[in-house]
Chain A
């Protein structure tokens, strides 16, 4: 089927098999490989993107379901002038990433969290990010990054 999806503010379109997942549409049809795939069971959250502003795991959405909708991926997080999003800056400043594989999904989930809860406690951040797995960081610095992005003080 033919789908048309606005990705990072740009209209994209492609002819895809009906069963195509949104994550594969983004990676293979649009060519944006920042969104990663880490599991088969919607458990890891590496593929998290914003779908009409809400965070979703793009391995559990069909490209067909996104037809006519807006999707934001990690590539669309920084401003047009290249200025980093506060969440991106905070992940770098707080060392919230190591291998980086979970990072795009983790940052997209964090953007979504901060929209719903602009000043989360560390505990609230931990609970909100439960659907995003990280194997490298022990989560400590990811939590710090989200707190920093919220504008609150982080004790290093």
Chain B
């Protein structure tokens, strides 16, 4: 029986539950002996001109090994969009948390004392602390830099064409905020740098992609790539915000060279919440129009992306535009996007990166349209779904969808939840004037995975003792990919899991790779491993043919027993992997491949949220969350469901609680976990998952990505549910997060208006 598709506990867990694993701050490598500790002095002001920095007193503090500012650096600033971002601020700081100086000390506890003595003179400038302030252009972050106002990028229509909405019976327009959130991996950012006597830099980094980090750091330091080795040890969460290397990582390498000693850095949580990139932060204005029978004729989204102080990720609104129509066969889709800069922390990828924003917008729009024409939200969706027979389907925004069963996914979710009964309960409670209102929220979604159009590396070695080592270019950090890949190999080669080792995240072991983001790992990294194993099997077939004096095509690999034999003659002589490898007079059979056809896949699903809203206090409680998530065939149901649980947790948190806030001067007001509403166990329900599997034809495994899917569906499901709970009281829309205060205020507004 095949191990693939069965529930297998993770091979990763043993060390994590016994010794707690080895994260970057846990490293006790010999190469780090005598390391100094690093801290970044960061701007406490959102927008200011630096008129002077005095480091003399800091340099005299106990244990100080070095204090560096921009004047000491010989690094070219990083290009970010049409502007550049300095490693340490030069003349102007543009957000609270921007690095201004780097301090190195002998002992960890000396860092904060010394950093306080770096004396920076700031002449405050007006802060641009919101999208509206950025668009007004009154204060510019990059005056005279060839940038108009604060707009860094414009895509799509200059003027929208209203004719598309001319034949509609109903048209609805709404501005929907997708709030800024903090990725907040539980392990903060950190790294260690050491130069070897051979002139090579080794950097241990909490990163999702050691190879991208190597390219970035080598580029920043002006080194050939082979002079930099990056190792990702155990990584305590990334969620997109640890893709590659942040500027701080390059500075660690620079500083280690400057002082001639290894350097260790671990940021604090408040640094993490102000200086690690944030996610989302879009203001989307949607217009939807159609017929009273539910048919949508045209959909428009005008995206404004708050990029923060430096536009590090202008692909985010582009992805939102592409995924704008979601699961629907809208005849006309109009999009535009603008990236603006503000005096806030830079925005970059966060679980879903551009797609949750698209889904949140279109799923709110569908509910608004349904309410306008007086139709059930589930029914409006059914009318407009792309149908199974229409795949592959190209959307008006260029999405090249592979396969989908959108109506079936929604039906499964509604059936599992008992939708009709829930609606009946809602009616009863409304009729009885129950102060605790019931709300039902639907989100049907499709997302793009492996959408970066690059492939992934995979190498499989079978050793003389019959054990297997696989090297993957993916770089898991909690996803359980090592277990999934070992399962694939066990299935294909007939080798038990205990004899399979999966390696990743070290550029010396895996020189070519893209890494983990965009839910790409199994479909690309897994396919690469499968292809490499196929090649090893082909090599073995030739060797086995020589040994058994048979034609290669007459041989078969018995994967139950892990032996080669003549087909149809199971009692004949068999050869195990060890025998075959030794016959080759090599230490290992090996194949090293690159898999990728450049085509993404499109997982989909439907979520239904049931919430209870206390109309007297505004408190929202998620009573149930039913999720259908279809990412094709499942390799390991354990990790597949685990990824969905995690996604649901983060998605629900965004709808209900999480938001990074700034005051009008650009001061962050959510800079600790005491202020930032991180979701705890008490706010979440037990999740109800329904499985469904529609394969893709775009990779060797038929699989699609699952890492981000549940985040994407759950946010609008919960958001819609909260609005639905209040609909009978006259609330039409409410922005996220639907905190008690916001819900209460909305109710108060409608009560006053009535």
The answer to whether A and B come from one shared complex is yes
CB pair A92–B686 under 8 Å, yes or no, is: no
Report yes or no: B21 in contact with A100, Cβ–Cβ below 8 A. Answer: yes
Interface of chain A: mostly helix, strand, loop or mixed: loop
**A135, B184: Cβ atoms under 8 Å?**
yes
Q: Min CB distance, B59 to chain A, in Å?
A: 22
Of A28, A107, A138, chain B has the most CB atoms within 10 Å of the CB of A138
Judge whether B558 is part of the interface by a CB distance below 8 angstroms: no
B642 touches A95 (CB 8 A): yes
CB <8 Å contact, B681 and A40: no
By beta carbon, the residue of chain A nearest B12 is: A100
The B-contacting residues of A in range 20-71, CB under 8 angstroms, are: 20, 24, 27-28, 31, 33-41, 43-44, 46
Interchain CB contact under 8 A, B672 and A40: yes
Which of A24, A99, A142 is in CB contact (< 8 Å) with B681?
Answer: A142
Within 8 A of A (CB), among B186-237: 186-188, 234-237
Which chain B residue lies CB-closest to A89? B17
The binding surface of chain B is classed by DSSP as loop
Give the bracket for the number of chain B residues in contact with chain A. Answer: 35 or more
Q: Once the chains are docked, how many angstroms separate the CA of A37 from the CA of B236?
A: 11
Q: Please report the C-alpha to C-alpha distance between residue A141 and residue B639 in the assembled complex, in whole angstroms.
A: 11
Q: What residues of chain A lie closer than 8 Å to B269, measured between beta carbons? A: 38-41, 44
Minimum CB distance partner of B639 in chain A: A95
**B420 adjacent to chain A (CB < 8 Å):** no
B257 near A: Cβ within 8 Å? no
Cβ–Cβ < 8 Å partners of A40 in chain B:
268-270, 672
Residue pair B674, A43 in contact (C-beta under 8 Å): yes
Q: Is A111 an interface residue (CB 8 A)?
A: no
Given contacts A43-B673, A98-B646, A133-B673, contact A127 B682 (CB under 8 A): yes
Interface size class of A (residues with CB under 8 A): 35 or more
- Of A41, A46, A88, A140, the contact of B645 (CB 8 Å cutoff): A140
Q: Is A5 part of the binding interface, using a Cβ–Cβ cutoff of 8 Å?
A: no
Which residues of A are found within 8 Å of B638, using beta-carbon distances? 95
Q: Which of A97, A102, A139 has the most CB of B within 10 A?
A: A139
Q: Specify which chain A residues have a CB less than 8 angstroms from the CB of B19 in the assembled complex.
A: 33-34, 74-75
Whether the Cβ atoms of B20 and A135 lie closer than 8 Å is no
The chain A residue sitting closest to B647, CB to CB, is: A138
From B18, B186, B235, give the contact of A88 (CB < 8 A). B18
Q: A38-B269, A93-B9, A100-B478 are in contact. Are A133 and B647 (CB under 8 A)?
A: no
Query: Given A39-B673, A126-B681, A133 and B186 touching (CB < 8 A)?
Result: yes
Q: Give the contact stretch, choosing among B22-30, B149-157, B326-334, B601-609.
A: B22-30
> Given A127-B682, A133-B680, A98–B478 Cβ distance below 8 Å?
yes
Give every chain B residue within 8 A of A20 (Cβ-Cβ): 109
Chosen A-B contacts, 30 in total, with CB atoms closer than 8 Å, are A28-B108, A33-B23, A33-B26, A36-B23, A37-B25, A38-B186, A38-B188, A39-B672, A40-B672, A44-B673, A44-B678, A46-B186, A74-B18, A74-B20, A84-B17, A91-B13, A95-B9, A95-B642, A99-B234, A99-B477, A100-B21, A101-B186, A101-B236, A103-B20, A104-B20, A132-B681, A135-B186, A137-B642, A138-B645, A156-B7
Chain A residues in contact with chain B, CB under 8 A? 17, 19-20, 24, 27-28, 31, 33-41, 43-44, 46, 74-75, 77-78, 84, 88, 91-93, 95, 97-104, 107, 122, 125-127, 129-143, 156
